[in-house]
Structure 1
Amino acid sequence: MSSQTKSTIVSTEDAPKAIGPYCDLSYYFFIFLNKKAQAIKTANGLVFSSGCIPLDPKTMEIVGENDVQAQTEQCLKNLESVLKASGSCLNSVVKTTVYIKDMNQFSKINEVYSKFFKDFKPARSCVEVARLPKDVLVEIEAIATVI
């Protein structure tokens, strides 16, 4: 049995669908489901999320067009939904990577980020990038443990 089959695909309607070919199940091992994963849960209890961008899960429209704080909040809400669907939660996150378009917005992002990670602060990297999908201002991915 391959190690891929020991992992579980995580997908929820409470977070936006993947906009790219990330973890496409039809390519891997659940051909009949034809879903795209928002995260992968491993057999040893880790969850690796795809990057969460600030899309409304119902409309797939960008939330907070030019507002980095509104976008950060939506990213974290989407991440929270994906983690919940995997059997995890924000308090179980051990590492996040935050991709931002403008490092000058770092303090504004931190204001929102700290509201979601109150008790336990995971390890974090923050990287300024030239461009993000759909020209959003922020994207957040995480690694968490299953609770």
Structure 2
Amino acid sequence: MIERIETGSAPSSAPINDAVRAGKHLWLVAIAEDPVTGEIVGGGIEAQARRCIGNLDIALKAAGGSLRNLVMVQIFLVDGADAAGMNAVYREFFTEQPYPVRATVVVKELLAKGLKIEITATAVLD
């Protein structure tokens, strides 16, 4: 059975959930959308990466987990030159081994105007 995890931070412009759970597994998606205003955050890749990871954290907490439960992270960047800034922010949140397995992909564009990053992730909850 699939359960929607309600966090209030799913992008309002699309028919999607930001997290669903099936048993102990949780699938998540996060963009750099402010969960209060619904606006894409400005300030460059660092601010957007922090907001994305912050939105993942909100969803994980709503499901009873934390960032430590992540097993796989996929990061989509519009500009490969943003990888260094994104990695610096990533290191702020993921400081202990084992790190989640990670793939980073550069894409031509993301659907929301001004969006520099999108993250999908998989977690296993206790």
TM-score with structure 2 length normalisation?
A: 0.91
Q: CA RMSD in A?
A: 1.3
1:139 to 118, 121, 125: 118
Task: State the partner residue of 1:11.
Answer: 6
Whether the aligned pair in 1 keeps the contact of 2:11 and 2:33 (CA below 8 Å) is no
Q: CA offset at residue 77 of structure 1? A: 0.4
User: 1:42-81, aligned counterparts within 5 Å?
Assistant: 42-43=22-23, 45-49=24-28, 51-65=29-43, 67-81=44-58
Which structure ranks higher in relative contact order (CA pairs < 8 Å, sequence separation ≥ 6)? 2
Structure 2: 5+ residue stretches without partners: none
Residue-by-residue CA offset, 1:54-104 (whole Å, 9 max, x unaligned): 111111111125x00100000000110011111221001000000000111
Question: How many equivalent residue pairs?
Answer: 124
**Identical-pair percentage:** 30
Structure 1: 5+ residue stretches without partners: 1-5, 23-36
What SS class does the counterpart of residue 143 from structure 1 fall into? Answer: strand
1:40 to 13, 20, 24: 20
Rg (Cα) greater in structure: 1
More strand by share: 2
TM-score with structure 1 length normalisation?
A: 0.79
Distance 1:141 1:55 in 2: 14
